[in-house]
Amino acid sequence: MGPLRDQDIKDRYRRDGYVVVAGLFDDADLNPMRDFIKDKIDRYACDQYAEGDLSSLHETEPFERRYAAICKEQGILPRDWTFGSFGPEFYDLYVNPDVLRIINVILSGEVSVLTNPSLRTKLPDSPIAAFPWHQDSHYFDMREVGKQEKHTADLHIVTVWVPLVSATVENGCCWVIPGSHHWGLLDGIRGEDRNVRIEQDVEALANPVPVPLDPGGALFFSNLCVHASKPNRTRGCRWSIDFRYFPTPTGAALDDRQRRAAQFVENEALRGGDVPFPVLPTKKRPGWPKWETAVIEHRARLSKPGLSIR
């Protein structure tokens, strides 16, 4: 089967709330992300080894296995990647022309990128890395445990999920419920483990499907698409990265509700130390040096006591 035409992408996304695009990247396009991860893991291993908290650097292990082997020896199952996600590697991914072509097809208008990506380690047999059924709007809207809020039900946000190793059913690929974006924003709640869970039995409403995906492919889905991931039953990490695009708050095409929601999303990102930037139209996009400076200056301001982001 040949590559999807733009109309096919638009039609499938509108129908299902997601679309899978295989062969979007050359594998070499992902090497900067893998190298970033390898460098951080190597530094962590060297530090832990020097402090006597690791018996081996595990440096002969392959990319999928090294971090899993380190965590296994230390008896830890971290939920999140804690070694940073800022650099030219990330900028280049956000502005990748093939990604933006598809974003333009399914989102269009004036678009910005949220620059707080999620690097997913998904360690073997980690219960906390198996995400229950949710919609991405839940994670934007509900910051506090046990408090239900809805801010982005009327805003179209697109997540791009990119595997850095083969994502399989065995190692915990994404699962989606086709057409669930038509259900609106469902009730959900954030638990003590920081995961959000939808309160109703969504599997009784429609049939979930797995989305296995090889490196080079990408899954694009709506903030209202119900999705989940199951435990990793292999010996290696299921590495992936996901990042998001949303309508630029000052975009002319937004109505008042959408504008308020877009501003909410941008403000939350800024409060967390990230600086969203416009990617479409391209004439408004900052280059890497300009964006790097903006992030450094913003984080310096955040470190000052009494700062308030409005």
Band the pLDDT of 146: cuts 50, 70, 90: confident
3-class SS shares of the chain: helix, strand, coil, % to 5: 35, 20, 45
- Determine contact, residues 109/241, Cβ cutoff 8 Å: no
* Structure-token match 């230390």, residue found: 74
- Residue 154 forms part of a structural domain: yes
| pLDDT tens sequence across 115-135 | 999 999 999 999 888 899 999
Give the model confidence (pLDDT) of 180-237 as tens digits: 999 999 999 898 888 899 999 999 999 999 999 999 999 999 999 999 999 999 999 9
Q: Looking at the DSSP assignment, which residues form a beta bridge with residue 61?
A: none
Are the beta carbons of 158 and 107 closer than 8 angstroms?
A: yes
pLDDT at 308: 46
Give the number of other CB atoms < 10 A from CB of residue 57: 16
Give domain status of residue 184, yes or no.
yes
CA atoms of 146 and 273, how far apart (whole Å): 24
Q: How many residues does the chain have?
A: 310
Considering the domain boundaries, does residue 50 fall inside one?
no
- Residue 48 included in any domain: no
Structure-token pair, residue 61: 């292990």
- pLDDT bucket at 307, cuts 50 / 70 / 90: low
Separation of alpha carbons 237 and 304, rounded Å: 38
pLDDT at 108: 87
- Torsion angle of the four alpha carbons 120, 123, 125, 130, in this order, in degrees rounded to the nearest 10: -10
Give which of 119, 153, 157 is closest to 244, Cα–Cα. Answer: 157
Q: What percentage of the chain reaches a pLDDT higher than 90?
A: 88
Single-letter amino acid code for the residue at 86 = F
Residue 278 lies in a domain: yes
Over 60: is that where the pLDDT of 310 sits?
no
Nearest of 220, 244, 87 to residue 155 by alpha carbon: 244
**Model confidence at 3, in pLDDT bands (50, 70, 90)?**
confident
- Count of domains forming the chain: 1
For the chain, helix (H) and strand (E) counts, in that order, are: 8, 11
Categorize the per-residue pLDDT at 2 as very low, low, confident or very high, splitting at 50, 70 and 90. low
Residue 278 main-chain phi, psi, to 5 deg: -70, 140
pLDDT number for residue 304: 83
Residue 125's CATH number = 2.60.120.620
Domain-embedded: residue 70 = no
In a domain, 18, yes or no: yes
Q: pLDDT tens digits, residue range 256-300? A: 999 999 999 999 999 999 999 999 999 999 999 999 999 999 999
Query: Which of 33, 118, 123, 42 is closest to 78 using CA atoms?
Result: 123
Mean pLDDT over 69-97 rounds to 95
Which domain range does residue 298 map to? 6-29+85-302
Lookup result for tokens 């229950």 = 132
Confirm whether 250 is domain-assigned: yes
Which run of H or E residues covers position 181?
A: none
pLDDT of residue 1: 53
